Structure formats: C-alpha cells, structure tokens
C-alpha cells in the first residue's frame, strides 16, 4: 500500500472534516460500549450468585491492581508514541509502541496467571457457578480485546518499517489503534472498579 | 501478489460476468445483490408461512407434524426479520443513500461487499439446518430454557445462535458504513436539515442497529456457553435466570422492530411528496419523530414481558413509555396525511403502496397501543391477536412500504418502468389478501386461540376465521407471483423510463438511469431539501447539479477514480461462516475458516484501495 494512495484518500471530501476511518472507529466503539455494558450487567447480576462455591473473595486485588496500573500506563505510552511519530521521530515512536505492546502482554500474562490460579487452586471454572461463568466471560472478552489490540499494534509497528508513518505522512493507522486501545483501557477501569473494588 | 488489477473483468462471458459480481464493490450492484437475495429469502419465508396456514386451514389437519410446525414458525420469523426485511432495507440503503446525498460510493466499499457476503452465507448457513438434522425450533426469540441442551439436544439451536451472530456482524458492519457515509460524505450544501427523509431514517436505523445488536450478541454468547461449556446463565438449576435471556433479547428485539419499520417510513416519506407534488409536510418534525421513536424504543422492551411477573411498578413504567412512543409515530402519520392534503395526487402503483402502508400501519399501531396496556396484554398474550398486530406493523407497514419503494425506484435501478397496471393488481390483491389473512386473527386472538400451536379442535369457533386467514395468505402468495413476473419481465421489456420518470425532487433523479458507476459526473451542490425540483422549476443553484451529467459523462469518465473490485470480502465472509460450521460439523472447518480469514485480512490490508 503506497503512501500516495493514502495521501489521495485524505484529500477526499468529508462533511465533518474528520477522516472516514476515524468516524467509523467511533461508531464501532459506540457499539462496543453496549457490548461491554451488557457483559458488565450480567456480571453484576451474578456477582453473588455462587451457589455456596468460590466467589468474589478469590479475586487477587494486589496482582490485579498492579496489572491495572500497567494497562493504564500503556495508554500514556500510546499517546507518546503517536506524538513521537507526529514529530517525525520514528525511533521513539517505535519504542513507545513496543512499550504499549509489552505492557499489554504483561496485563495478559497477569490474566493468564489469574485464570490458571483460579482453576487449579481456587476450583473456580466457568461451570462451577454463575459468578465464575460471568467472570470468565467478561474478563475473558476484555482480555481477547487486549490480545487483538496487541496484534494490531504489532502490525502497525511492522508497517513502520514498510514505509508507513514516515515524517510528514498521515498517521491514521496509529490513531485508529490508539482509539481502540484507549477504549479497551477505559472498559477495564469500569470492570476493575465494579467487579474487583466494590 | 495480493492485489487485484484495475482491469475490468470481461463481462461478455458468463464467467466474466459472475466474477464481476463476486468482486464488485459498487454500492449499486451490491444493492441489486441485496435485493435479489432478500426477495429469495422473502419467498422462502413466505412458503413457510403458507405451509403453516395450510396446516391451520382446517381443525386437526395433518399437513405438517407438530415438530415441523415449530420449525416453520421459528424459521418464518427468523427468515422474515433477519434474511428478508432487514436486507431488503439494506438494498435501499445501498442504492439510495449515496445517490441521495450526492456521493460516489459509500465510505467503505469493500466493507460493504463484506456485509453482503456475510449476510448471504449466514442465511444459507442457517437454512442448511433443514437438511442437517433439524431446523431451529424455539421461536424467533428463542426463549430459555427451550434452547437448553436438556430440551433440544440436536444442533437446531446452534444453527440459530451462530447464524444470528453471523448476521449480526453483517448488520453492524453495514451500519457503521452507512453512519460514516451519511455523516461524512454529503455533497456540499447537503446539511443534515436538507437530507432526504429516507437518508434520515437510514441513519437512525443504522444507529439503532449498532446500539441494539450487542445485547443479542451477548445473549447468544451466553446461550452458546450454556450449550457448549456447561455454564448455566439461563438454567435455573445452576442458579441461572431464563428471564435474563428475555431481557437481553428484547433490549435488542424491540429496537429491532423500529429497525424494520423506520426504513419503510423513510421510503413512504419520499414517495408521498413525489406523487402529491408537494414537499413533505413538517420535515423537521418527521425527522425528529424518527429520532424520538428510536430513543424511546430502547426504553419499552419489557412490554414484551408483561406476563412474566416483573411487578406492577415495572409494568406501569413500561406501559407509559410504550404509550408515549405512539406520540411521535402518530405525529409522522399526521404529517404524511398533511402531505397529501391539497396535493396534486397521482395514484401510480408506488403511491398506492405508500398509502396502503400508512393505513395498514395505523391499524397495527392501534392494536399496538391496546397491547401496550398490561391488562389487555394479559388477556391476549400469546394469542393470534399478537400475531395480527405484528403483521399489521411489519407486513402492513414494512412490506407495503418496501414494495412501494421497489416500484418507485425500479426505473432508477434498471432504466425501465415496472408495468403499472400489474403493479396495481399486485397492490389490490396483496391488500385484500393481507386483510383477509390478518384481520380475522384479531378475532381468533380475542377468542383465545393460542399462537405457535400446530392445530386446534373443531367446534371452538376458530374454523371460519382460520379458513379465511388461509385463503387470504394464498392471495398474498399469488400477488407476490404477479410481482415477480412483472419485475422479471420489466427488466428486459419494460417501457424505458428515462432518468426522471416521476418528477422526483431528490438528487438520484438528476442522474441517468441506471446510474453510471461513478454516480455523479460532478459532485452536486445542494441548497434545498428538493434540489432536483429547484432545478426543474427554474430556481435553485445553478451549480453542478444543473449541468446535465449525461452530456459530459464521457469526457469526465477517465478522471473519476473509483475503487477497484476485490475478492477479499467474499473470501473473508466464507472464512467466518466456515468457522461457524466448524463449531457444528467438524473442528477442521474452524481451522480452515481461521486460515481463510487471516489470509483475507492480510490481502485486504495489502490491497490498494484504489
């Protein structure tokens, strides 16, 4: 895909002045709010539905606070990456992008550890009770979003070596993944607050 | 190389023609694909309905078994909602939205093709169930615990659940596409306040879809987990709650009703002014009423659950919001009537369908207000009264509106008229047949005949009404045949229509029929709600719209850069549906589907968008 093709696209008439892809992303994220909203509601309904089995007490607040901190910080790195690419610094753009991926992977690692711990030591599986089922569904879907985000970031990073995001070029490729990443972060803030903290 | 060259396929050969349709990203051709496919599914859903009516024509008949009957009403509802009416609306979005707002295509042409192919494969996937061990049989709303493995151990429900997920993806992608197209690709001067009413309703429908579908997506995910990994979200024995399914379903399901009716309302809002030769009365109020219906539509869902026992407070609150939604709906109807008032009306077939839509929809709306009252609802819940109501809204409203749209815009698709006389015969037969089918069902419902039961005893007072209903349904089927023959014949032998046969007011009538691939040789400049009327009446902008596009189309053609055709959308859609097949048939399909999906994703990204 050539830079000219993208530059050409940018020139297209747009009623709002916004890029089509960005607007499309906003619409998609709007849809995602209802997706996660429904999942979170199901989780809240079943929060104490344990049938006497393991419930909220199995959640490890210390570990998750740490991974939450890492994930929230990754949004900062995302902003810095976009800023660096915009300023023409490919090196720092790539470094920060790599940092976002790394932090995403740390978050996922924490989640894998958490899930394994629950299944093997706390005897909580999706079929144990509805607390477990709702928890794994909600947190699992969020984790899948983070995973897709990491893959997407990797693709963007790879394209920075294939002639994209050079100084003076359009940055919509980074902006899109950034929007998505910030959204996934924001959803986690809601999940962490509603499921872990209260 | 993962790219398609810009060379057009050779359309003189059959293979070339087929390839050009498979790889098309042109919104007008995708509209045709949507139209043909949705009419095919409409016929299928109609045949399912006819089988049910034959079974019910006489008491204790034995046309189909009770088991087959449950499959028929489930697939009739599912097919009509998701495979016939929504995609038929999508055909109109595709054809009209870019033409009406003065754009050359939608915002994401390949995504548009992807939406279509996912829809086609998803529809086929769901109907394979008929020959693969049994079709879905828990009603179009799949109430728990009927959908639980304890009650349905075959894959019937899995076909339904995965099929709806697939179709949901198609609808959400298409809606994102149209939201962006409408918000971002309007011609200069085409402010929101000047958009044709159909475009307004398309935009509102698209917003409804992206906000309503996630609820059923989650419901279906939980259902699939219940069936596949032994969770018990909807199973009381495991602490689950079947009512949660009802909430998730109807939070989606009620907005879905408006998803089905708003496009038809948009079509009628275009047809009535054209054949009355008057601008739409109360334009702004009609637009805002559409938005109000959509907004309030998210707050009325438990009126489908009045008899569940949510308590008097919930029932009262939702009864009030349900009654409230009648206000913007009524406002629209009065505006349509006021549009007709004092107009110079010509009763061509599109106009007849539009007037039919308004009058039949009023009847459906009135029985809706009745059902919105919990005491009445408790009496007629799950009887044929509800069947009558929903068909007056979705057949009397949506189907009449959409058929009117087909007659109205057929010349724009093809450059030829549909035969007006046969169109009127179609309309008259359908109107009589429709009322003969569904008016008696009100009586059946009040007399207490339950819906979704495959037969009834004689001497219950049901015989006459049921026979009338069956005769009516056969008339509807016959009228549809007339329509199909008329349409097929008119494609080749219809009277040539020219570019503006109805003296239309919106932009699509300023360009040739069928429109050139780039739609507008020059992007028009708009300064009123009916730019085409302005030009023809000698006023309006003297800018781009006024220059005859036919005249200089040839000269301009090379300069207009249109997106290249692409085969990645169909490959990606196939990958998605194959993966779903894998969850039912054999795991190997999941791998195959995933590989296809990954390859097409890479191909998609690498392909020059053109």
Question: How many Cα atoms are found within 13 Å in the side-chain-facing hemisphere of B256?
Answer: 27
Residue B411's pLDDT band, with cuts at 50, 70 and 90, is very high
Rounded mean pLDDT, B39-45: 97
Interface of B with A in 88-107 (CB under 8 A): 107
Nearest-angstrom CA–CA distance, B529 and B532: 9
Interface of B with A in 177-206 (CB under 8 A): 177, 179-180, 183-186, 188, 190
Is some CB atom of chain B closer than 8 A to the CB atom of A2?
Answer: yes
Which pLDDT belongs to residue B610?
55
Nearest-angstrom CA–CA distance, B365 and B327: 11
Residue A190's pLDDT band, with cuts at 50, 70 and 90, is very high
Query: What string of H, E and C letters represents the secondary structure of B409-450?
Result: HHHHHHCECCCHHHHHHHHHHHHHHHHHHHHHHHHHHHCCCE
Which pLDDT belongs to residue A7?
40
Q: Considering only CA atoms, which of B442, B401, B412 is closest in space to residue B205?
A: B401
Rounded mean pLDDT, B98-122: 95
Helices and strands, counts by H and E, chain A: 6, 0
Quick check: B540 pLDDT over 60? no
Beta bridge partners, B450, equal B383
Chain B nearest-CA distance from A89, in A, is 25
CATH of the domain at A182: 1.20.120.80
- B543 DSSP assignment: S
Rounded mean pLDDT, A166-174: 89
Which pLDDT belongs to residue A13?
60
Chain B nearest-CA distance from A44, in A, is 12
Give the SS3 label for residue B383.
strand
Quick check: A34 pLDDT over 80? yes
Is some CB atom of chain B closer than 8 A to the CB atom of A121?
Answer: no
- B9 DSSP assignment: P
Q: With b meaning 16 or more CB within 10 Å and e meaning fewer, what string describes B476-506?
A: bbebbebbeebbeebeeebeebebbbbebbb
Residue A198's pLDDT band, with cuts at 50, 70 and 90, is confident
Q: With b meaning 16 or more CB within 10 Å and e meaning fewer, what string describes B217-252?
A: bbbbbbbbbbbeeebbbbbeebbbbbbbbbbbbbbb
- Compute the Cα dihedral for B51, B53, B55, B58 and give only its sign: negative
- B152 DSSP assignment: -
What's CA B78's distance to the chain center, in Å?
A: 12
Rounded mean pLDDT, B334-349: 95
For residue B525, give both structure tokens: 């400049």
Quick check: B173 pLDDT over 50? yes
Chain A nearest-CA distance from B182, in A, is 9
CB B102 within 8 A of CB B524: yes
Other residues' Cβ atoms within 10 Å of the Cβ of residue A90: 15
Quick check: B76 pLDDT over 60? yes
Cis preceding linkage at B411, omega within 30: no
Rounded mean pLDDT, B586-604: 93
Quick check: A140 pLDDT over 60? yes
Rounded mean pLDDT, B380-403: 96
Tokens 């334009």 label which residue? B283
Tell me the C-alpha to C-alpha distance, in Å, between residue A133 and each of B179, B215, B400: 35, 17, 45
CB B49 within 8 A of CB B433: no
Rounded mean pLDDT, B563-586: 92
Rounded mean pLDDT, A161-180: 91
Which pLDDT belongs to residue B561?
77
For residue B374, give both structure tokens: 């919990």
Beta bridge partners, B416, equal B496
Quick check: B4 pLDDT over 70? no
Interchain proximity B222–A129, CB inside 8 Å: no
Quick check: B379 pLDDT over 50? yes
Q: What are phi and psi of B201, to 5 degrees?
A: -65, -35
Which pLDDT belongs to residue B397?
96
Residue with the bigger pLDDT between B535 and B321: it is B321
Which pLDDT belongs to residue B53?
97
Say whether domain B26-563 belongs to CATH 3.40.50.1370.
no
Tokens 């609150």 label which residue? B317
Whether residue A8 lies inside any domain: the answer is no
- Torsion angle of C-alpha atoms B109, B115, B121, B127, degrees rounded to 10: -150
Residues in chain A: 198
- Residue B317: which residues within 8 A CB-CB, separation 6 or more? none
CB B214 within 8 A of CB B256: no
Q: Considering only CA atoms, which of A28, A39, A45, A34 is closest in space to residue A141?
A: A39
CB B229 within 8 A of CB A126: yes
Rounded mean pLDDT, A108-128: 94
Nearest-angstrom CA–CA distance, B403 and B418: 12
Question: How many Cα atoms are found within 13 Å in the side-chain-facing hemisphere of B539?
Answer: 10
Nearest-angstrom CA–CA distance, B378 and B366: 17
Q: Considering only CA atoms, which of A125, A121, A155, A162 is closest in space to residue A140?
A: A125
Residue B6's pLDDT band, with cuts at 50, 70 and 90, is very low
Interchain proximity B190–A15, CB inside 8 Å: yes
Quick check: B547 pLDDT over 60? no
Tell me the C-alpha to C-alpha distance, in Å, between residue B83 and each of A37, B23, B121, B221, B227: 27, 22, 11, 21, 25
Cis preceding linkage at B321, omega within 30: no
Q: What is the DSSP string of A49-96?
A: --TTS--GGG--HHHHHHHHHHHHHHHHHHHHHHHHHHTT-HHHHHHH
Interchain proximity A14–B215, CB inside 8 Å: no
Other residues' Cβ atoms within 10 Å of the Cβ of residue A129: 24
Residue A71's pLDDT band, with cuts at 50, 70 and 90, is very high
For residue A10, give both structure tokens: 């940018």
Question: Which alpha helices (H) appear in B447-526, and where do they start and end?
Answer: 463-493
Residue B5's pLDDT band, with cuts at 50, 70 and 90, is very low
Nearest-angstrom CA–CA distance, B31 and B515: 13
Q: For residue range B225-260, what is the model confidence (pLDDT) as tens digits? A: 999 999 999 999 999 999 999 999 999 999 999 999
Residue with the bigger pLDDT between B574 and B557: it is B574
Q: How many domains would you assign to chain A? A: 1
- Residue A56: which residues within 8 A CB-CB, separation 6 or more? A47, A48, A131, A195
Which pLDDT belongs to residue A168?
85
CB B427 within 8 A of CB B469: no
CB B341 within 8 A of CB B370: no
Quick check: B134 pLDDT over 90? no
Nearest-angstrom CA–CA distance, A180 and A178: 5
Quick check: B7 pLDDT over 90? no
CB-nearest partner of A23 from B180, B251, B607: B180
Catalytic residues of B: 76, 105, 140, 170-171, 254, 256, 258, 269, 303-304, 329, 332, 451
- B563 DSSP assignment: P
Quick check: B554 pLDDT over 60? no
List of chain A residues whose C-beta atoms are within 8 Å of the C-beta of residue B212: 34
Quick check: B544 pLDDT over 80? no
CB B96 within 8 A of CB B410: no
Which pLDDT belongs to residue B608?
78
Best residue of B231, B259, B523 to probe chain A, by most A CBs closer than 10 Å: B231
Q: Considering only CA atoms, which of B118, B124, B103, B123 is closest in space to residue B27?
A: B103
Residue A107 burial (10 A CB sphere; 0-12, 13-18, 19+): buried
The share of chain B scoring above pLDDT 90, in percent, equals 86
Which pLDDT belongs to residue A100?
97
- B85 DSSP assignment: I
For residue B59, give both structure tokens: 């008491």
CB B341 within 8 A of CB B391: no
CB A128 within 8 A of CB A54: yes
Which pLDDT belongs to residue B9?
60
Q: What are phi and psi of A127, to 5 degrees?
A: -95, 0
Tell me the C-alpha to C-alpha distance, in Å, between residue B38 and each of B32, B82, B217, B475: 10, 9, 22, 21
Q: What are phi and psi of B496, to 5 degrees?
A: -60, 140
Whether residue A186 lies inside any domain: the answer is yes
Q: What are phi and psi of B383, to 5 degrees?
A: -115, 180
Beta bridge partners, B383, equal B450
* Full domain range(s) for residue A125: 59-197
Q: Is the pTM of this model over 0.90?
A: yes
Nearest-angstrom CA–CA distance, B520 and B498: 16
Quick check: B555 pLDDT over 60? no
Interchain proximity A42–B241, CB inside 8 Å: no
Whether residue A29 lies inside any domain: the answer is no
Quick check: A175 pLDDT over 60? yes
List of chain B residues whose C-beta atoms are within 8 Å of the C-beta of residue A23: 107, 179-180, 183-184
For residue B228, give both structure tokens: 């596949």
Q: Domain boundaries in chain B?
A: 26-563
Quick check: B395 pLDDT over 70? yes
Chain A nearest-CA distance from B319, in A, is 23
Which pLDDT belongs to residue B538?
73
Average pLDDT, chain B: 92
Q: For residue range B273-288, what is the model confidence (pLDDT) as tens digits? A: 999 999 999 999 999 9
């Amino acid at each position: 895909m050539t830079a000219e093709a993208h530059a050409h696209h940018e020139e297209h008439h747009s009623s709002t002045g916004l890029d089509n892809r960005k607007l499309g992303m906003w619409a998609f994220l709007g849809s995602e709010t209802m997706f996660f909203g429904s999942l979170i509601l199901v989780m809240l309904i079943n929060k104490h539905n344990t049938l006497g089995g393991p419930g909220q007490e199995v959640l490890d607040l210390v570990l998750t606070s740490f991974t939450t901190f890492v994930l929230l910080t990754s949004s900062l790195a995302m902003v810095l990456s976009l800023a660096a690419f915009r300023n023409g610094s490919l090196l720092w753009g790539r470094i920060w992008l790599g940092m976002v991926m790394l932090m995403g992977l740390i978050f996922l690692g924490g989640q894998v550890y958490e899930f394994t711990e629950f299944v093997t030591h706390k005897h909580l599986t999706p079929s144990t009770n509805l607390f477990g089922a709702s928890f794994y569904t909600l947190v699992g879907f969020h984790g899948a979003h983070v995973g897709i985000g990491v893959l997407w970031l990797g693709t963007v990073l790879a394209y920075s070596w294939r002639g994209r995001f050079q100084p003076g070029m359009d940055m919509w490729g980074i902006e899109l993944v950034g929007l998505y990443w910030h959204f996934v972060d924001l959803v986690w803030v809601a999940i962490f607050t509603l499921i872990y903290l209260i | 190389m993962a790219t398609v060259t810009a060379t057009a396929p050779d359309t003189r050969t059959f293979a070339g023609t087929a390839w050009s349709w498979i790889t098309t990203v042109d919104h007008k051709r995708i509209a045709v694909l949507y139209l043909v496919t949705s009419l095919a599914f409409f016929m299928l859903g109609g045949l399912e309905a006819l089988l049910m009516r034959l079974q019910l024509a006489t008491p204790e008949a034995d046309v189909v078994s009770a088991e087959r009957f449950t499959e028929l009403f489930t697939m009739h509802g599912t097919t009509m909602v998701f495979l016939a009416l929504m995609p038929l609306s999508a055909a109109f979005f595709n054809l009209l939205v870019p033409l009406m707002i003065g754009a050359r295509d939608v915002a994401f042409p390949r995504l548009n093709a992807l939406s279509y192919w996912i829809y086609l494969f998803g529809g086929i996937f769901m109907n394979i169930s008929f020959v693969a061990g049994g079709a879905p049989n828990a009603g179009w709303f799949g109430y728990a615990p009927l959908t639980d493995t304890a009650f349905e151990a075959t894959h019937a429900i899995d076909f339904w659940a995965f099929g709806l997920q697939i179709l949901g993806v198609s609808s959400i992608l298409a809606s994102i596409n149209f939201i962006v197209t409408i918000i971002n690709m309007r011609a200069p001067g085409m402010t929101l306040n000047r958009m044709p009413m159909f475009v307004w309703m398309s935009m509102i429908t698209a917003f409804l879809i992206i906000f309503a579908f996630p609820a059923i997506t989650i419901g279906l995910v939980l259902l699939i987990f219940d069936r596949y990994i032994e969770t018990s979200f909807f199973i009381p024995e495991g602490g689950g709650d079947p009512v949660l399914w009802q909430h998730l379903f109807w939070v989606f399901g009620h907005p879905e009703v408006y998803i089905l009716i708003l496009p038809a309302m948009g079509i009628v809002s275009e047809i009535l002014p054209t054949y009355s030769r008057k601008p739409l009365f109360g334009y702004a109020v009609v637009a805002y009423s559409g938005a109000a219906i959509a907004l309030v539509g998210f707050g009325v869902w438990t009126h489908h659950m009045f008899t569940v026992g949510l308590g008097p407070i919930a029932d009262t609150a939702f009864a009030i919001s349900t009654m409230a939604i009648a206000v913007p709906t009524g406002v629209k109807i009065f505006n349509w009537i006021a549009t007709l008032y004092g107009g110079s009306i010509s009763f061509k077939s599109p106009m007849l369908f539009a007037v039919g839509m308004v009058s039949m929809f009023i009847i459906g709306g009135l029985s809706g207000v009745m059902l919105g009252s919990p005491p009445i609802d408790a009496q007629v819940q799950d009887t044929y009264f509800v069947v009558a109501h929903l068909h007056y809204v979705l057949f009397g409203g949506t189907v009449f509106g959409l058929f009117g749209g087909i007659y109205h815009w057929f010349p724009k698709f093809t450059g030829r008229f549909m035969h007006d006389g046969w169109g009127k015969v179609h309309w008259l037969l359908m109107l009589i047949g429709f009322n003969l089918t569904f008016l008696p069902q009100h009586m059946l419902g009040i007399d207490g005949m339950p819906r979704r039961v495959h037969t009834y005893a004689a001497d219950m007072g049901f015989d006459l009404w049921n026979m009338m209903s069956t005769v009516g349904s056969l008339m509807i089927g016959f009228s549809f045949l007339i329509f199909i023959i008329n349409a097929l014949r008119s494609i080749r032998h219809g009277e040539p229509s020219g570019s503006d046969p109805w003296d239309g007011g919106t932009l699509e009538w300023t360009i040739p029929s069928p429109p050139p691939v780039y739609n507008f040789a020059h992007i028009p400049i708009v300064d009123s709600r009916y730019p085409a009327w302005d030009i023809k009446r000698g006023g309006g902008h003297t800018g781009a719209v006024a220059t005859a596009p036919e005249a200089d189309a040839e000269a301009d053609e090379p300069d207009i850069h249109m997106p290249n055709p692409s085969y990645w959308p169909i490959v990606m859609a196939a990958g998605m549906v194959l993966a779903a097949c894998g969850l039912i048939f054999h795991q190997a399909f999941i791998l195959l589907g995933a590989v296809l999906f990954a390859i097409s994703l890479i191909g998609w990204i690498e392909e020059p968008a053109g």
